[in-house]
Amino acid sequence: MDYFLLILFIILAFLIGSIPSSVWIGRIFFKVDIRKMGSGNAGATNTIRVLGWKAGVPVLLIDIFKGWIAVYIANFLPFEFVGDQFIYFKIILATSAVLGHIFPIYIGFKGGKGVATLLGVGIALFPLASIIIAGLFLIVLFISRIVSVSSIIASIAFPIVVIFILKTVEVPLIILSIAVAVFIPLTHAANIKRIFKGEEKKF
């Protein structure tokens, strides 16, 4: 096993995740820095709120694709893994991509919250679970009209779907699903405070 190549792939996943789609689209097509407008978050939700669907939808799709491709590149490694090593390495690539989105190297390490990129990761690792969770996200969004509430509820439900509904037995994937349920609420700590104060913006 070539550990140098593994490290290169992890770095590549971080660089892919770091692609600041919202910032670049805002600068190139709208001549604005999305981080200085709205909530200041460099993600799809703030882009849609500030610049509209024509900017927000491409940002959303690119951010999802980043997560998916960062995991998929593992298939190009020219050697085989043993046991669960391949799944663990995909999870490492996924983590690297999400961290890249949150701390993008191209724009001073100030990025988004990683929800869309995590969805891309989910599509790569948990296709069916991701479809179910995406459906739950949309239902909660339709009812609450608050993206952060939808993201938090969907993330908490994620391990429930993975473990109890789909009965996943791969320990690495179970651990990852639980990590997502912890990670998303943590990145939305400020949103949670606004939700309890009744100050969170509706979509």
Regarding whether 155 and 102 lie in a shared domain, the answer is no
pLDDT at site 83: 87
Last residue of a domain, one of 65, 100, 125: 125
pLDDT digit string, tens, across residues 122-166 = 999 999 999 999 999 999 999 999 999 999 999 999 999 999 999
pLDDT at site 192: 95
Regarding whether 67 and 31 lie in a shared domain, the answer is yes
| pLDDT mean over 177-182 | 97
Regarding whether 153 and 84 lie in a shared domain, the answer is no
Regarding whether 108 and 50 lie in a shared domain, the answer is yes
* pLDDT interval class at 81 (50, 70, 90): very high
Q: Residue 1: is its pLDDT beyond 80?
A: no
Kindly report the average pLDDT of the chain as a whole number.
Answer: 95
Regarding whether 104 and 62 lie in a shared domain, the answer is yes
User: What is the residue range of 174's domain?
Assistant: 127-203
Regarding whether 147 and 101 lie in a shared domain, the answer is no
Regarding whether 145 and 49 lie in a shared domain, the answer is no
pLDDT digit string, tens, across residues 100-117 = 999 999 999 999 999 999
Regarding whether 166 and 108 lie in a shared domain, the answer is no
| pLDDT mean over 22-41 | 94
Which amino acid is it at 88?
Y
This prediction has a pTM of 0.93
Cβ atoms of 74 and 9 closer than 8 Å: yes
- Number of folded domains that form the chain: 2
